[in-house]
Structures are given as C-alpha cells and as structure tokens.
Amino acid sequence: MSKFKTTELSDPRFEANNLRHITVKSKHLKHRGDISVYVPPGENLSDLPIVILLHGVYGSHWIWSQKTGIHLKMNAWIENGDIRHMIVAMPSDGLWGDGSAYLPHENSDFEKWIVEDVPNAVIELIPQASNASKLCIAGLSMGGFGALRLGIKYHDKFSGVSGLSSITVVDEMALFVEEEITSYNQTEKENESVIATILKHRENLPPFRFDCGKDDELIEGNRTLHQQLNDLNIPHIYKENPGKHEWIYWETHIKETIVFFNEILKQ
C-alpha cells in the first residue's frame, strides 16, 4: 500500500540520460513535492544505495542535474569504476519563500519531507531501491546546512553526510533570502546551528565531511565550525579549495562527496 495519497512517475519512453521524475503528495508538506532521480543503467540492480542531494536557495529539484550534469557525471564515474552503482535523489526543498532551510515551519515540516517522504517515494517508485538501500545525504549552501543537520540528527537513517559551501547557522540565511530571518526560528534550538545538532548527538555521529571555497562568503562560518570540532576532538573531514559561492565550485567538487560516500558504503 502506498504511503502517499497520490504519486506520479515519469514515463521511461520520454526520459533521458537515466534521469527520472517523481511527484508525490506529502503529508508533511501538505502539498505536492517534486524529486528528480538519477537511476544508474544496468541489469539486475537491486537494493542500491540512495544519495539524497539537497539544493540551495532559489533552486528546486532540477537544479543539480541542469547546473552540474550530476547524472551524466555519475554515469561516467560508474563506467570508469570510480564508484559503485548508486541512486541520486534530488528533491525540492518544499518551495517555501527563497528557501525553507529544510526546517520545520508552522504549516509544513520541510525536515520530515526530506528524511521520511523522499526516501519512501524513491523506495516505492524506483525498482532498484528498497528498504535495504543505505542512505547518504549531501547538499550545497542551504542544502549543506540541511544535509549536515539532518544527517546528524537522523544518524540512525544515514550512513554518511557531506556539505559543500554550507550555511552553518540559520542566521546566515539572511545573506540570501528576502524573508524575515525570524521566520526560521525554531522551538528546538538545536535546529538552528550545525554545531548544536552535533553536540546533542555527539555519541552517535555518522561519518561526515564539509568543504568550502576560500573566497566564499560562508568561509568564516565553515572555519569556525571546523575549529569548534577540533577543539572538541570530534572526528570529521574539512577541506578548503579555491573558489567562490557558485556553480562551477559545486560542479568541480561534488565528486569528492560521492567518493566519500562510496568509501563508506564499501565497509
């Protein structure tokens, strides 16, 4: 029995480059949500791991594929033997304002949309996925905030976590959105910063990494998080690269995240 009132899946006759499209009615959003899904080619593929890839402000489900060609890159990396077969699920954030920050809001729970509805939709509609599929989560900017926070908060679900050019505290949303920053205030204060989430779940942290461009406006927040983690002796991977807060950076460095997940999934 479906977990959703309504579901729609693109017809394979009209799909291209192993990219599929899902729309479901989400009980957490209280409206429909969209997911683009890269499904690797191959026969008899089952129980494939699922990487949930989150977008930043202003974006939606299509933006990773149409700004970085991630689906084409995945094909090439798999064919070259760089990584194993894996599914990449790219949901919208729920399309609230300039960006929901993947947080619970008064009328829609954008957090539960990602951690419950998205994997459930992929498992239900994509035959190569199943309840045995391992989950990893990553994202850029606002999506990095979402990935780091949700991957650590729901450590029982996620095997690996990665953030690129991540917002690290919710107040940094003010750099990008026109909505009042108070719109993102949370009852659970751990939701408002990555370090607070990490401290609450310190005894159960999944492997996680994050990186940022040296000329990115979010670099100081990333450096602060790295230093806080070092001071607390919390294992993590942090890397700085040349680059700004722009698509060429994410297109260039997303492979490091996928390879990181691949190594975790080998274990």
pLDDT band of 235, cuts 50, 70, 90: very high
Please tell me the predicted confidence (pLDDT) of residue 69. Answer: 98
Q: Check: CB of residue 37 under 8 Å from CB of residue 87.
A: yes
Q: What is the mean pLDDT of residues 212-230?
A: 98
Strand 237-241 versus strand 208-213 pairing type: parallel
pLDDT interval class at 150 (50, 70, 90): very high
Average pLDDT over residues 167-196: 96
Do 176 and 245 contact (CB within 8 A), yes or no? no
Question: Closest Cα partner for 35 from 69, 73, 77, 7?
Answer: 7
At residue 128, the pLDDT reads 98
Are 55 and 143 in contact, with CB atoms under 8 Å apart?
A: yes
pTM score above 0.85: yes
Euclidean distance between CA atoms 60 and 229, whole angstroms: 31
